[in-house]
Chain A
Amino acid sequence: MRTRKGTLIKDIKRQKYIYLMIFIPLVFYTVFKYIPLWNAQIAFRDFKSVRYGIIDSPFVGLKNFKEFISSYYFWNLIKNTLMYSFGKLLISLPSAVILSLAIYECRRPALRKTVQTLAYLPHFLSWVIMYGILLSLFAPGDGIVNDVLKSLGHKPIDFLTNSNTFPFLVIFSDAWKEMGWSAIIFIAALMGIDVSLFEAAMVEGATSWQRIRYITLPAIRPVIVIVLLLKIGTIMEAGFNQIFMLYSPAVYNVADIIDTWVYRQGLLDGRFGLATAAGLFKGVIGMLLILSSNYFSKKYTDNSLF
């Protein structure tokens, strides 16, 4: 009779090369990801500097968390963070998939090559320069869009400082910037589809629409699911660099996300215990989300992270 322990050793021996292979990366991972997690206990302490020790810093329990949660703007921050994350998921992810499909299916080589070359360029523009681009397009005084509006007799709209338009500006400019880049991974997946499937479909008289629906999309569904799950895991990170460059007091109420608040309150003020506490808070929420969405994904789509 084999004991479970016996099976365990046998399994490890059988797959010893696999374990060997993942050993060093895991050690590396432990050092560079888990030690900082241990250092993150400064969230529970009145931490000033390593000079006075991490463990030696007085333990204050959940004080930093309480301060974060009782901020006057706490619920606003959560609302905005989720708004941008979900908004970007809704717009950016489908746009990337659709773009990759369009590139894959486009039968005009010149058009296809041009789009494919241009699509990933915006990713390299930092948000500092993107702010300039958005200003040139949407500035209330002389932006291109407003010039067009003015010539049509409409009053100029202050897109960047209007709290109704600002969220859309954020979500769509992010989609514009990242669409082509995110599409790369989907194009790579599309490249791997067995072409004989398409030919079989054509023989059976399937239209292009049906081909997309029944062959292409299902073939890349696993990648989409993985990307979706990973993005859900980081839903509490709504794009700090972008918002930081684009926001201003006029739109604080719709622009402030957790990270920008942490930047002002925690990082610029040197209150790193608080900043870390907010980070851990985000992590707990993210962990819950990723575990639950992974569960549902496994149940209903056969794909999951683990």
Chain B
Amino acid sequence: MRKRMDVVLVLLLAISTLVFAQGGKESTTKSAGPTKIEMWYTATQTEVGPLPDDWVGYQILKDKFNIELEASSLPSSTTDQDMKIQAAAAADMLPDFFVANREVWLRLANNGMLADVTDLYDKMPNRTKIMFDKDAIAFTTLNGRSYGFATPAMISRNEGLLIRKDWLDRLGLAVPKTTEELVNVMRAFTFNDPDGNGKNDTWGYGAFIEVTTYEAYPGRRFQPLMGAFGVEGTWDMTAANFGLQIHKPEFYDFMKFMKSIIDEGLIDPNWMAYKKDDFRAAWKQGKFGIMREQNAAYAAKNNYSPFDANFPDGEWIIIDPPVGPTGKSSVGPETRGLRIWCISAKAAEEGKAEKIAEMFEWMASGEGYFLCGWGQEGVNYTLKDGIPVTVPGDLGFEGPVGQRYIQLRSMAFNYSSDTELISRYPVYTTDVSKKQMSALWALREMQSKKWTNSMGADSMPVPSTDLKTFYEQGLAEFFTGKRALTAENWKSFVAEFDKIGGTAWEKAGFEYAKANSYLK
């Protein structure tokens, strides 16, 4: 009898742990009540925490639109986001409404996982007027039907070439205009102790590797240097000269230029190892004097103040990109920076598409726009001349608690209206040096410089992984000197590149650009 009891006991234990481990049953019953919408969004500030449960918007959506919204934030790393969304698609666990970049969107659309939203634009008249022009709709169109809403995700032309004015002044140098002058300035910054601290610890140029589909290796931070040779961006999108920049003879000139400044030691040698945070920490510690940086990352109060505290006399100015030997210059390729909001095919089948469109429209203007963008008037912001200004304290939209209430900002913003820009980038006085600064002034100046119109470059066909590896690895090996940069080696590199897929890639790009009228 005792033996039996022991056995039963063990069995019960084992079974109960499994049951207990199962947790509660999830109830996904479809009631006649509110439409449940599961949404995955990219948070404005992932670190502060998700949209709080007591967000007023939840109640408004329920009362006004009969929508029960379940919003959850996507991971902050873009590769994590892509993987999560695609894995969910494979397991048929996509949420009803979510945002993705174009490559992911294209795959999902081709796999039949997304809903046809062509007819929903009419349900969102305000939003369509603000942001869905012909190009935006074309961005998400396949075979004449649209499968997502292409929304702006960044301010255009919001980066620029910055240089330390105080270093220039201390060394008695003029602002460099050509590549030659730029190199001389880099030399001075590296070898002539521009910060006057007696230590040999500064460099001319600073950068890190930041690659996008339209800014191939070595990436965004080097675009002004590439622009001097006319090889900015991955593609040359002009009708006359269309092709991959790497095929141009000027690209070899750029490579030689890069190699010379690397060999001379004019660039912060950590550039290949830095990640974005390291790079930003480095300029705040005065490691280098020339860089391409984003307006808010440079000038917004939070970001500028460590630099200000370290170097009260320090000053950056925005300069024109350098002019190269053939008279060309450019800050970099300009695209619209669109991200796509998708409705899953499953949600459409369940009849949720129209409700989603209603909600999306509400967020684009009026009550929803302000709520998602800044919070509640009087609680998180106050209006000064129609511009929302943060309330001092934790609840203000710039404060630690208030920041959580604007996690859906990217769903509401259009990234170009003055309201948004003035609100995001107020004028302020720096703590230590008592200067007046504004990320908006920086932005306006950066937008006035010479950019290359590359509309469509961010939706061009992407290379296969192996081809991309070959491309990046090849260039990197030339930079590190693992492979000698001679005309012959370069030629054989490009030939090999073409052989394993470069030619095919360029051809695919040409057909795509032509079909979509992207050739300028």
Does A168 sit at the interface, judged by CB under 8 A? no
A–B pairs, 24, beta carbons within 8 Å: A17-B7, A24-B11, A24-B15, A48-B113, A49-B90, A50-B91, A72-B470, A73-B469, A139-B269, A139-B273, A160-B272, A161-B476, A161-B480, A248-B209, A249-B217, A249-B472, A249-B475, A250-B479, A250-B480, A256-B469, A261-B465, A264-B469, A269-B107, A270-B89
Once the chains are docked, how many angstroms separate the CA of A28 from the CA of B18? 9
- Are B273 and A135 in contact, with the CB atoms below 8 A? yes
A140 is an interface residue with CB less than 8 A from chain B: yes
Kindly list chain A residues whose C-beta atoms are within 8 Å of the C-beta of B134.
none
Q: Are B270 and A270 in contact (CB under 8 A)?
A: no
Q: A71 contacts the other chain (Cβ, under 8 Å)?
A: yes
Task: Give CA–CA (A135, B272) in the complex, Å.
Answer: 11
In the complex formed, the residue of B with least CB distance to A39 is B91
For the complex of A and B, the 3 pairs showing the least CB-CB separation, nearest first, are A249-B472, A270-B86, A250-B476
Does B66 count as interface, using CB distance less than 8 angstroms?
no
- What does DSSP make chain B's interface, helix, strand, loop or mixed? helix
Chain A positions 38-96 with a Cβ under 8 Å from a chain B Cβ: 47-52, 71-73
Interface status of A283 (Cβ within 8 A of chain B): no
Q: Are B7 and A20 in touch, CB under 8 angstroms?
A: yes
Bound CA–CA A256/B469 (angstroms): 10
Q: Within 8 Å of chain B (Cβ to Cβ): is A267? A: yes
A195 within 8 A of B: no
CB pair A249 B83 closer than 8 Å: no
- Told that A141-B287, A250-B477, A253-B473 touch, could you supply 18 new A-B pairs with CB distance under 8 A? A24-B14, A48-B90, A49-B91, A49-B113, A50-B90, A139-B273, A158-B480, A160-B272, A249-B473, A250-B476, A250-B480, A250-B482, A252-B472, A264-B465, A264-B468, A265-B464, A270-B89, A272-B90
Would you call A267 and B11 a contact (CB within 8 A)? no
Least CB distance from B99 to A in Å reads 16
Is residue B68 contacting chain A, with contact meaning CB distance below 8 A? no
Bound-state Cα–Cα, A160 to B476, Å: 13
Contact of A265 (CB < 8 Å), options: B113, B201, B465: B465
CB distance from B195 to the nearest CB of A (A): 15
Verify if B53 is at the interface (C-beta below 8 Å from A).
Answer: no
Which residues of chain A come closer than 8 Å to B107, judged between CB atoms?
A: 269-270
The count of A-to-B residue pairs whose CB atoms sit within 8 angstroms is 121
Q: Write out the residue numbers on chain B whose beta carbons fall within 8 Å of the beta carbon of A203.
A: none
Once bound together, how far apart are the Cα atoms of A250 and B471, in whole Å? 11
Contact B477 A267 (CB under 8 A): no
Specify which of A49, A71, A163, A253 is in contact with B89 (CB 8 Å cutoff): A49
B269 smallest CB distance to A (angstroms): 4
What is the interface of chain B, defined by CB distance below 8 A to chain A?
Answer: 7, 10-11, 14-15, 18, 79, 82-83, 86-87, 89-92, 103-104, 107-108, 111-113, 201, 203, 209, 217, 268-270, 272-273, 275, 278, 287, 345-346, 464-466, 468-470, 472-473, 475-477, 479-480, 482, 500
* B476 interface neighbour in A50, A248, A268, Cβ under 8 Å: A248
In the complex the two chains form, is A73's CB within 8 Å of B272's CB? no
Does B90 lie within 8 Å of A248, measured CB to CB? Answer: no
Asked if B480 contacts A49 (CB within 8 A), the reply is: no
- B111 pairs with A48, CB closer than 8 A: yes
A162 within 8 A of B: yes
- Contact A47:B272 (CB < 8 A) given known A24-B11, A72-B466, A270-B107: no
What's the minimum C-beta distance from A48 to chain B, rounded to whole angstroms?
A: 4
A199 beta carbon closer than 8 Å to chain B: no
CB distance from A86 to the nearest CB of B (A): 23
Q: Which residues of A contact B270 (CB under 8 A)?
A: 135, 139-142
As a 0/1 sequence over residues 1 to 37 of chain A, the CB contacts with chain B under 8 angstroms (1 = contact) are 0000000000000000100110010001000000000
CA distance A253 to B477 in the complex (A): 10
Measured in the bound complex, the distance between the Cα atoms of B140 and A130 in whole Å is 40
A267 contacts B91, CB within 8 Å?
A: no
Q: Is B15 in contact with A140, judged by CB distance below 8 angstroms?
A: no
Among A160, A264, A272, contact of B273 (Cβ-Cβ < 8 Å): A160
Residue A156 is within 8 A (CB to CB) of chain B in the complex: yes
Q: Which B residues are CB-close (under 8 A) to A264?
A: 465, 468-469
Q: How far is the CA of A71 from the CA of B468 in the complex (A)?
A: 12
Tell me the smallest distance from the CB of A113 to a CB of chain B, in Å: 36
Question: In the assembled complex, which residues on chain B have CB atoms less than 8 Å from the CB atom of A160?
Answer: 272-273
> Which residues of chain B have C-beta atoms less than 8 A from A139's C-beta?
269-270, 273
Chain B CB count within 10 A is highest, among A160, A256, A270, for A270
Question: Once the chains are docked, how many angstroms separate the CA of A259 from the CA of B191?
Answer: 43
* Smallest beta-carbon distance B2→chain A, Å: 13
Query: B11 to A20, Cβ gap below 8 A?
Result: yes
- Which residues does chain B contribute within 8 Å of A267, judged by CB atoms? 83, 86-87
Q: Chain A's nearest CB lies how many Å from the CB of B7?
A: 6
**8 Å CB contact of B112 from A24, A48, A252, A265:** A48
Q: Given A51-B112, A73-B466, A163–B272 Cβ distance below 8 Å?
A: no
Complex CA gap A47/B89 in Å reads 11
Query: Which residues of B sit under 8 angstroms from A21, Cβ to Cβ?
Result: 10
Which residues of A are found within 8 Å of B472, using beta-carbon distances? 249, 252
Q: Cα distance A135–B277 when bound, in Å?
A: 12
B473 CB, min distance to chain A CBs, angstroms: 4
Report the minimum CB–CB distance from A158 to chain B (whole Å).
7
The complex places the Cα of A268 from the Cα of B18 at a distance, in Å, of 34
- CB neighbours (8 Å) of A253 from chain B are 473, 477
List, in ascending order, chain A residues with CB within 8 A of B272's CB. Answer: 158, 160-161, 248, 250
Inter-chain contacts of A28 with B (CB < 8 A): 18
A87 to B278, CA, bound (A): 30
Within 8 A of B (CB), among A104-151: 131, 135, 139-142
Output the least CB separation between A225 and chain B (Å).
Answer: 31
CB A274 to nearest CB in B, in angstroms, measures: 10
Give the CA-CA distance A150 to B90 in the complex, in Å: 52
Chain B contacts of A140 at CB under 8 A?
269-270, 273
Chain A residues near B89: list those with CB within 8 A: 49, 270
Closest to B200 in A: A150
Name the residue on B nearest A264 (C-beta): B465
Q: Measured between C-beta atoms, what is the minimum distance from B505 to chain A in Å?
A: 14
A140-B270, A141-B269, A267-B86 known; A52+B466 contact, CB < 8 A: no
A154 to B204, CA, bound (A): 22
Provide the bound-state CA to CA distance between A273 and B85, in Å.
16
Cα of A131 to Cα of B275 in the assembled complex, Å: 10
Q: Which residues of chain B have C-beta atoms less than 8 A from A47's C-beta?
A: 90
Q: Known contacts being A51-B345, A248-B476, A270-B90, is A161 close to B273, with CB within 8 Å?
A: yes
**For residue B464, which residue of chain A has the nearest CB?**
A265
**Which residues on A sit within 8 Å (CB–CB) of B103?**
269
